[in-house]
């Protein structure tokens, strides 16, 4: 039996709180990196993995990011930061990675030898995904959107095809990765605070990110100070949010 002092998933979920004040105690860079590796195991729409993780360990960079995050305590007192970035703009590259992976899985045989299932999977990345992600100034996305609404009058159809919809697709998956990260950190008694209160333009400049990338969240990391959690956890009564149908 493997002996581990890691928390179980439900223990880690319950332990995780948004910590606004971290102790001035260093945390292990390698352990945080391992939690980022677990973050990247999150499910992701069409396995497109339109995300990147910037692990900020330099005190000077943390200071600059904290300044651009309105000097909020969760950033200012963090020992390390992880910036989760949604990279919808990388869709062509990710499509190619998926195609290369599939072809390799199929043993790089000639396309004529592919089974029906193999052809379907390849077609998905070669045709369907590009048709969803391809856009030009939002115009093609809008045309697709209207076309899909019309087809949708007659049969079920995927409707989220506008540029803004595809941004949400990328952000959704990035958020799942962020959550994986926070739970993984909690499992080893490390704390986090997710933040969206920051000047995204300044953060992108600091990290040398392209204009079309989007910051999903900045995660402050460290060990909670005694006063680091601001009060009891508040949740809306479960009956108000749970609907059995």
Residue whose pair of structure tokens reads 């179980």 in the numeric block: 8
Question: Is 196 an interacting residue with respect to ligand FMN (CB under 6 A)?
Answer: yes
**11 near ligand FMN, rule: CB under 6 A:** no
Tell which one of 39, 62, 74, 166 touches ligand FMN (CB under 6 A): 74
Report the length, in residues, of the chain: 245
Measured CA angle at 192 (ends 189, 193), to 5 deg: 155
Task: Confirm or reject binding of residue 233 to ligand FMN (CB under 6 A).
Answer: yes
The closest alpha carbon to 29, from 5, 56, 53, belongs to: 56
222 contacts ligand FMN (rule: CB under 6 A): no
Q: How far from the centroid of its chain's Cα atoms is residue 154's Cα?
A: 34
Q: Does 217 bind ligand FMN (CB under 6 A)?
A: yes
Tokens, residue 115: 């089974």
Stretch binding ligand FMN (CB under 6 A), from 23-31, 34-42, 193-201, 236-244 = 193-201
Residue 187 near residue 7 (C-beta atoms within 8 A):
yes
* Burial class of residue 13 (count of CB atoms within 10 Å of its CB; 0-12, 13-18, 19+): middle
Per DSSP bridges, beta strands 51-56 and 80-86 are antiparallel
Supply the DSSP symbol for 88: G
Helix (H) or strand (E) holding 130: helix 129-133
Q: Which is nearer to ligand FMN, 20 or 204 (CB)?
A: 20
In the list 197, 201, 205, 210, the residue contacting ligand FMN (rule: CB under 6 A) is 197
Q: Tell me, what DSSP letter sits at residue 124?
A: I
Least Å distance, CB 238 to ligand FMN, is 15
Minimal CB distance residue for ligand FMN:
197
For residues 74 and 169, which CB has a smaller minimum distance to ligand FMN in the complex?
74
76 and 114 Cβ atoms separated by less than 8 Å: no
Beta carbon nearer to ligand FMN, 27 or 78: 78
Tell me how far, at minimum, the Cβ of 165 lies from ligand FMN, in Å.
Answer: 19
Question: Site for ligand FMN (CB under 6 A): which residue of 141, 194, 222, 228?
Answer: 194
Binding footprint of ligand FMN, residue count (CB under 6 A):
12
Regarding 72 and contact with ligand FMN (CB under 6 A), the answer is yes
Does position 20 interact with ligand FMN (CB under 6 A)? The reply is yes
Binding-site ranges for ligand FMN (CB under 6 A): 17-18, 20, 72, 74, 193-197, 217, 233
């Amino acid at each position: 039996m493997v002996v581990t002092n890691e928390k179980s998933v439900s223990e880690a979920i319950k332990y995780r709180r948004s910590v606004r004040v971290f102790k001035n105690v260093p945390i292990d860079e390698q352990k945080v990196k391992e939690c980022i590796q677990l973050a990247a195991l999150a499910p992701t729409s069409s396995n497109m993995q339109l995300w990147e993780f910037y692990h900020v360990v330099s005190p000077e960079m943390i200071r600059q990011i904290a300044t651009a995050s309105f000097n909020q305590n969760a950033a200012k007192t963090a020992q390390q930061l992880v910036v989760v970035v949604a990279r919808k703009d990388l869709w062509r590259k990710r499509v190619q990675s998926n195609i290369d992976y599939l072809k390799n899985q199929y043993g790089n045989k000639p396309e004529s030898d592919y089974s029906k299932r193999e052809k379907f999977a390849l077609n998905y990345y070669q045709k369907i995904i590009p048709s969803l992600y391809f856009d030009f100034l939002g115009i093609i996305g809008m045309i697709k959107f209207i076309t899909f609404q019309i087809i949708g009058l007659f049969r079920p159809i995927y409707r989220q095809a506008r540029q803004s919809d595809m941004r949400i697709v990328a952000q959704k998956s990035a958020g799942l990765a962020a959550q994986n990260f926070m739970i993984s950190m909690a499992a080893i008694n490390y704390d986090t605070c997710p933040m969206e209160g920051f000047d995204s333009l300044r953060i992108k400049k600091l990290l040398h990110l392209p204009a079309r990338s989007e910051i999903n969240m900045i995660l402050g990391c460290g060990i909670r100070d005694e006063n680091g959690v601001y009060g009891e956890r508040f949740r809306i009564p479960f009956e108000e949010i749970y609907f059995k149908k």
